[in-house]
A = this chain, B = another copy of it.
Amino acid sequence: MLAGFDIGGTNARCLLVDDDGSVVANVRRSSAGSGPELVQSIVALVRELEAANGVKVEAIGLGVAGLAHRSGTIRYSPNLPDLLEFPLGQEVESVLGVPVLVANDANAGAWAEGRIGAGRGIDDFVFVALGTGIGIGVVANGTLVAGANGFGGEAGHMVIDADGPRHVTGQRGPWEYFASGTALGRLGREAAARGSFPRGVELAGSVADITGFHVTEALRSADPDASVVFDEFCREVARGIANLVLILDPERIVLGGGVSAVGEPLRDGVQLWLGRLLLGADHRPTAEVVLAELGPDAGALGAALLAADLIS
């Protein structure tokens, strides 16, 4: 039996997972606090789940946003500032005495989609998690491209507009400035400020309060202004994906993360713009854009499945 965690800034999701990827239990718990406190929460949760389900956890995977080192140390996580340079994996392993693997959450999500989700049977694909920021996971030749340290997939920080606007990271024009869930809200506010998105103002109460949520809400009710905003968003998503396709030539792009709940309009819009933006489209197939299948469980599931390799 495996345990997989997806550790966010406020909550941790924990799955108890069979070797074949079946989910036996699925719980959420606060992840707030210091590194040692998080270790205690994880340990308590694993023991609780073992007792409640009458099983023994043999390996644990921890998915974390940011620079999660192969060694188990969280070098830097934007969501978990208290974990700066904290040896999370090593600490959990030393208390529980079973192998623990630490991975970037989007890398873990990619692995899950590849094993039992939308990348099943595909040797070369890219998982793109569109949330507050953008994280990706690359699968090439059937293996996860986590990189030398485990820091691969930080494509949200890829600069695509070097003279563009300054992002919170200090960079100018990184992809996630234009194409994250946060960016979708900004596009909505910009349209509303021009008077081109009255439905958004109605839903949010004011221009300044419009977020990506309101854009997708308006889109669901077939508001034509929201369609214009969302089309622009899909173009921005596709701009970064076009770069990734040039570098990696994946067969498929799997769209996940919170924004992917929008569903078909996102898939369709990104596929359309990718076809327009990809250089050499006359001489190459455009990678197929599909929606992720595992929803918010992908990170925890993938962490568990990656951990399975520690004991196989």
Contact = CB atoms under 8 A, between A and B. Distances in A.
A88 to B, nearest CB: 14
B283 A85 contact: yes
Interface string A59-83: 0000000010000000110000000
A149 to B, nearest CB: 6
Nearest to A151: B249
A160 interface: yes
A283 B76 contact: yes
B67 A283 contact: yes
Nearest to A144: B141
A162 B279 CA distance: 14
B162 A248 contact: no
A140 interface: yes
A224 interface: no
Q: Which has the most chain B C-beta neighbours within 10 Å: A171, A243, A251?
A: A243
Contacts of A144: 141
A250 B147 contact: yes
Contacts of A170: 279
A148 B246 CA distance: 11
Nearest to A145: B140
A169 interface: yes
Nearest to A84: B283
21 contacts: A75-B283, A124-B145, A124-B148, A138-B248, A140-B140, A140-B152, A143-B143, A147-B250, A147-B251, A148-B249, A149-B285, A151-B284, A152-B248, A153-B247, A153-B249, A154-B247, A159-B243, A160-B160, A161-B173, A171-B279, A247-B247
